[in-house]
Structure 1
Amino acid sequence: MARKNEPGYREYRAELDRQIAAGEFRHATLICGNEDYLRTSCRNALRTAILGDGDAMNASYFHGSDIDITEILDIADTLPFFAERRVIVMENTGLFAKAGGEVTERLLTYLTHVPETTYFIFVEEETNGTTKLYKAVKKDGFLCKCDTPDDNELRAFIRSEMRENGVGISGGTASLLLSYAGTDMLNIQSECRKLADYCYGRQEATDEDVRAICSVTVKDRVFELINAIVTANRPEAMKIYMDLIRIQTPPQVILSLMLRQFNQLLQIGELLGEGKTSQEIAQLLHLNPWVLQNRLQPLVRGKSAMGLTRALQDCVQANMDYRSGRIDARIAVEKLIITYSAKDNLTIRRK
């Protein structure tokens, strides 16, 4: 959430839309924050606007920390092909979360004299406002924060999504849907589409419709999926996965939630290893103490940091491969389930 007196997402997006409408593009734009749906929406809108009628061959995409800065800067120096502008998208590189490094310094230097035809779009989930790169883009480019909106904005988002799907929804019913779907906007969008399909032919969705179609949240089912994976119960893991597919849960949503869940388990394991108490961990990670002690900590016991780290890294790689078109999201999820539901794949191996 935005701090008091700081602009919220609506203000950032309004300014981005103004720049797009006026054609006043900055040579460096940082789109950051914890809401994947909003980051993706802003990235796509800006990328499309900058390219204009230009061919997609004038757009380059780089994802992850393993980037070749020399290749990127060579592309940035290349004139666009039969178009006015060239776009370079760099996503989740980690450059805005840590200080220093050769890549950062070269990029900082380059951003002081970017060619008139080249535009950088940086998309980062995690940033550190004290880094030189963050400060440079904020000062001379444009910063667009995409943190999870508050409940009022999420309810408005639900009503908007339902309207687009031809079904009305009251404020109270939207609140009920929000309580089922959680705050992940990609998941909310998926639940709205299912609800609209369920209400086909009627003008408005009711509380009963929400309870019928959203009786168990996707987030809860993915937690049950992770539970089955880490306890090496492959048949149960595949059953839960197929149930999620059967109710039209997009595989990319499952993948995103799996990534977050493994990251959370790794953080819990590391904090337990540092001797932190359950109460301290709950405060640090903003978790419900009961959920932590009764649902999450039991999954971490007996699991190696190396195993959980490997699982998280494979989830990140699978997400990168899906986003870059190298693998279908469903295949990526199924490979992860099969790999990490194998017996002892996450447990401690003693020499």
Structure 2
Amino acid sequence: MIRRLKKDVLEQLPDKVRSVVVLEIDKKATKKLQTQMGRIENDHKKFNDSNADHNDSDKKESTSVVDWGQNEHLTVDEQSGVDALRMLELRNSSLMACFRDTGLVKIPGIRDYIGDLFENGEKFLIFAHHRQVLDEIEAKVRELIGEHYIRIDGETKEKFRKEYVDKFQNNEACRIAVLSITAAGLGLTLTKATTVVFAELFWNPSTLLQCEDRAHRISQNEVVNVVYLIGKDTLDDKIFPMIHNKIQVISKTLSGKDIEMKVDSYKECLSNRAVSASASETDTPLKQTDKTSKKEFVQSSLDSFVVSTPETKKVLK
């Protein structure tokens, strides 16, 4: 198998420049999120403790029986296993709820940023994951530009996707594309845009890279600016370092170089609440090499509450 980097195949492709923008979050909303994250941390510790106790009990012979449900009888060891599974389900659902709420509390800042970007007069793409966030973005876009935009999400029928792409590519009045991270990250050419904005993060770095490349591909003649909107003191503070670390692994595996987002720029951005330029690159992998699943995202995010890598500590300390 021969693997070629994007920079080797498309030598004339312009640079891709990434940056991070930290959004101001309402203090009341931030406090609620911090409470949620505290509960997740506690659930995570309880789950680990439960697993440790269960592993210890495996070494002992157990004949005790406890009632469970109406007609089921479980040994103490089996009871411990059921409790652990229930704790796992609880912590996973809590984390995904926190992930959703992080997107929702960012909405005022996202709307303001869209308004500022619109004034520049350029075409741009804006990606989000949760439907309510996409709806709020679309509402703001309608205020700014009426019907001169497109939206592609999981409910967009295949026959309309090409029609919407053609509208964005060929109609100068159509300046904004509102896109779902999971539904619009592949198979679309939107090179009339020179800016790509991520209103929300996502657990698979390769998916984010593919979304970036809707604008950064053949027929693009301008530098593509990629902006990640980060909510300070939200779950983004946990997810972004995790994404960064995984992207670094992808980059090193394929090219042997660290070419992706710089941790230091994010740290500076958090402290100064400013726009911070990151790295420019032209050799983003063509293939999805990271296989991060939703389950792995949950585990990685939970681990970040209690175990920090050196890179994460640099960002969050």
Tell me the TM-score normalised to structure 2 length. Answer: 0.27
The structure where strand makes up a greater share of residues is 2
